[in-house]
Amino acid sequence: MKSFIKNKDKFSKLILFFIFLLALLLRFYQLGQVPNGVTNDEANFAYDAYLLSQTGKDQWGSFLPWQFKGFGDYRLPGYQYLIVPLVKIFSLEAWVIRLPAAFFGAATVLAVYFLIQALFKGRDFAPVLGLITGILLVFNPWHFALSRVVMEANVGLFFSLLSIYFYLRSEKSLRSFFLAVVLAVLSFYTYYGYRVFLPLFLFYLSLKKPFLIKKNWQKKIAVLLIGVVLLLPAVFSLAGGGSARLRQVGFWQDKSLLAETNSFRGDCRQKIGDFICRLFFNKPITIIKQFFLNYFNHFSLTFLFFPQFEKGWGFIPPSGYFYLVNLIPFVLGFLLLNKNKEGRLVLVLVLLAPLADSLTGKGHFARSFALIIPLLIFTAFGWLAIFSFLKKKQKNILSVLLAGSYCYFAAAFLINYFIYYPLRHSRYFHYEYRPLFSYLKKVEKDYDQIFISRVNHDTKQYIFYLYYFKVDSQQYFKMNKEIIVEDNGWLWVQKIGKFNFINQAKKIEDYPPNSLLAIDPQGVKDFPRPQEVIKYPTGEAAFNIYDLDQTRIKIEKGGK
């Protein structure tokens, strides 16, 4: 019997290895070409990594910072420092800065498998459940898409899962406890959302399984103190950049929300006394109500299977976060798995995962990312339960139907992702800046000033100039810059060197001589034919480029 179990365990890990290789292959394939272009965040990470590799400073002159000012959004340092050696060795190419996301995304398959073995220790179904969850994760649209872009939530999730895994193994192993603490610290420095989700779950585990901390408790307290010391910079940062970030994304900053409350209270006063109206319509009640609305929306079918409002972000092609074929197994797995105590731990993971995101809105593709693992565990258990209820002949039939369904959904998604998505969604990854700055690099020496309009385009345009021009570090720190601090701390770089990033087009006579203008075609009227048109892969025009001296002459002559 022991020999059989040992061979079965080896076979499970062999299958796991091939699942991991498949995850690596799919996440590394055309990593630099799909998505098509780079986001402003990716360009920001890349250029800061370049400056750090050359000077040890970020773009704002901070030496080896614990927190990166970025666009005023105060990024955590985890992902940033991962890509510094990669940029130093290779280059600023998209595939280079996406490597950690792709690798840790694939490695999450391994982390989930071993976490399930720890959660369901001693259960015969644990290895199969881990393998099914791994397969589901490989082809899951949500995880797949966020493993192919610079996304801290993806890397932080890997660290969080491993931290939980080692904590569950720490009853007899001080080394496991040390690794759990170190990985928790890494998670804290990688993504803000896990600063809520992870400590709450580890605290819950401590209450449910107090034996995890009783043995060697003196040494474990010493390890915890080391973890606290390592987290001190993160704690201090909450008073600065961390709180600024919360102000930027917190839903209570929405003025329309409080305006609606004031409107209700005003209408109420016309019928009832002011005291009663204030009791029911006030800021704390509005915030609490909105928080719970946000929280429960994370479990809606619309959010999980038909997230229409999320498509505009462009990170995920037109697709739900989960395949619709998973709906029945998910419900079944949820009902059955919660009948045992291990399953209830998975439920706690589900309940804690959306807490941080609920402070920002009804569901964000990155901030709610921790939901993906417990939901897939429930789904995998549902498929496992379906098979266990059926006779051999029925299992064979269902196997064919299930494999066929999954092949269809997965193939449809992959075709969509690698063919339709880079063509139709390139604007969300700012594809237009690659050909724009490629053209400007050829002609910029011929002009004293270059103006680029941000109308209908992202406002962080300066970073694309630095990224695509690969501006030398020594040159960058000498360049003149004009910067405006916008609402809630966002930064708008209006000018850097000869490049001006403008809100809207001025009258042509207001531009200085020997200038070039790049503007969205919808932003100009009565201009003659541009000297160059920058297009999206679909052929749609993104920027019209005008030599303004020549344009003035053409307008004066009434020519086109």
- Identify whether the C-beta of residue 173 lies closer than 8 Å to the C-beta of residue 180: no
Q: Where are the alpha helices (DSSP H) in 32-148?
A: 40-55, 77-89, 94-119, 126-139, 141-146
414 and 537 co-located in one domain: no
94 and 77 co-located in one domain: yes
What string of DSSP letters covers 320-376?
Answer: -SS-GGGHHHHHHHHHHHTTSHHHHHHHHHHHHTTHHHHTT-S--TTTTGGGHHHHH
- The pLDDT, as a whole number, for residue 272 is 82
Torsion 80-84-90-91 (CA) sign: positive
Residues 6+ positions from 201 with CB-CB distance below 8 Å: 164, 348, 349, 352
**Chain-centre distance of CA 108, in angstroms?**
15
317 and 393 co-located in one domain: yes
- Is 439 among the domain residues? yes
Can you give the residue range of the structural domain that contains 238? 2-25+40-249+298-421
Angle 445-448-452 (CA atoms, 0-180°, nearest 5)?
95
- Is 328 among the domain residues? yes
CA 246 to CA 105: how far, in whole Å? 26
- The pLDDT, as a whole number, for residue 198 is 95
How crowded is the C-beta side of 215, counted as CA atoms within 13 Å?
A: 13
387 and 452 co-located in one domain: no
- Domain end, chosen from 399, 421, 443, is at 421
354 and 494 co-located in one domain: no
- Is 178 among the domain residues? yes
- Is 215 among the domain residues? yes
- Give the CA distances from residue 325 to residues 303, 403, 549, in Å, rounded to whole numbers and listed in that order: 16, 11, 60
CA 157 to CA 439: how far, in whole Å? 39
Of 314, 324, 310, whose CA–CA distance to 365 is shortest? 310
376 and 525 co-located in one domain: no
- The pLDDT, as a whole number, for residue 5 is 41
416 and 444 co-located in one domain: no
Torsion 164-166-167-169 (CA) sign: positive
400 and 438 co-located in one domain: no
Q: What is the pLDDT along the chain (560 residues), one digit of tens a residue?
A: 344 344 567 888 899 999 999 999 999 999 999 999 999 999 999 999 999 999 999 999 999 998 999 898 889 999 999 999 999 999 899 999 999 999 999 999 999 999 999 999 888 899 999 999 999 999 999 999 999 999 999 999 999 999 999 999 998 889 999 999 999 999 999 998 898 999 999 999 998 888 777 778 888 889 989 998 998 887 776 655 555 666 666 666 777 777 777 777 777 877 787 777 777 777 788 888 888 999 999 999 888 887 664 444 567 877 789 998 899 899 999 999 888 888 889 999 999 999 999 888 888 888 999 999 999 999 999 988 887 777 666 667 777 787 788 889 999 999 999 998 888 888 889 999 999 999 999 999 999 999 999 887 877 899 999 999 999 999 999 999 999 887 777 888 999 999 999 987 778 888 999 999 999 988 777 788 899 999 999 999 999 999 999 988 888 877 65
- Is 289 among the domain residues? no
- The pLDDT, as a whole number, for residue 4 is 37
Q: Where are the alpha helices (DSSP H) in 189-270?
A: 194-208, 211-214, 217-237, 243-249, 255-269
Amino acid at 247: R
- The pLDDT, as a whole number, for residue 458 is 75
Number of domains in the chain: 2
305 and 447 co-located in one domain: no
- Is 351 among the domain residues? yes
98 and 158 co-located in one domain: yes
CA 560 to CA 558: how far, in whole Å? 7
165 and 47 co-located in one domain: yes
State the maximum Cα–Cα separation within the chain, in Å, rounded to a whole number: 94
- Domain end, chosen from 368, 389, 421, is at 421
Q: Can you read off the two tokens belonging to residue 125?
A: 């179904």
Amino acid at 300: S
- Domain end, chosen from 421, 440, 472, is at 421
- Is 76 among the domain residues? yes
126 and 216 co-located in one domain: yes
- Is 513 among the domain residues? yes
CA 69 to CA 48: how far, in whole Å? 10
